[in-house]
Amino acid sequence: MASYNYKVIFEEDVIESTGEKVVSASCPVLHCHTWGKTREEAEKKIAEAIYCTLESMKEEGELIPQEAGDEGLPALIYFSIPSLKVAKGLATV
């Protein structure tokens, strides 16, 4: 079974209007971005965003991009997203 590995960048942020601390998550190669109140919530949301993006690309017949080499950015984590034959819903992180 094929797996896809993508770099995800997590950053702590503050919502200006409320002062609330949040964690933003982005996967640059897939142009996926989201946030959560905690790191754990941000991880779950970015995994779901990546899964949905890959599923959509597959349905549209688009090529699935491969992650380029490490760009030396801080706070990197690699996610392995199983092939798209897994059950629908939140991808396991």
Residue numbers of the domain that contains 28: 3-82
Query: For residue 17, is it within any domain?
Result: yes
Query: For residue 61, is it within any domain?
Result: yes
- Mean pLDDT, the chain, rounded, equals 77
| DSSP codes joined into one string, 11-72 | EEEE-TTT--EEEEEEEGGGTEEEEESSHHHHHHHHHHHHHHHHHHHHHTTPPPPPP-S---
Q: Which two tokens stand for residue 49?
A: 């965003």
Query: For residue 91, is it within any domain?
Result: no
Please compute the mean of the pLDDT values over residues 13-24 and round it to a whole number: 94
Look at residue 79 in the predicted model and tell me its pLDDT: 54
CATH number of the domain where residue 40 is located: 3.30.160.250
Look at residue 33 in the predicted model and tell me its pLDDT: 96
Condensed to tens digits (0 to 9), the pLDDT of residues 39-69 reads 999 999 998 998 899 889 888 988 888 776 5
Split into its structural domains, the chain has a count of: 1
Look at residue 87 in the predicted model and tell me its pLDDT: 33
pTM here?
A: 0.71
Query: For residue 55, is it within any domain?
Result: yes
Look at residue 84 in the predicted model and tell me its pLDDT: 45
Q: How far apart are CA 8 and CA 88, in angstroms?
A: 21
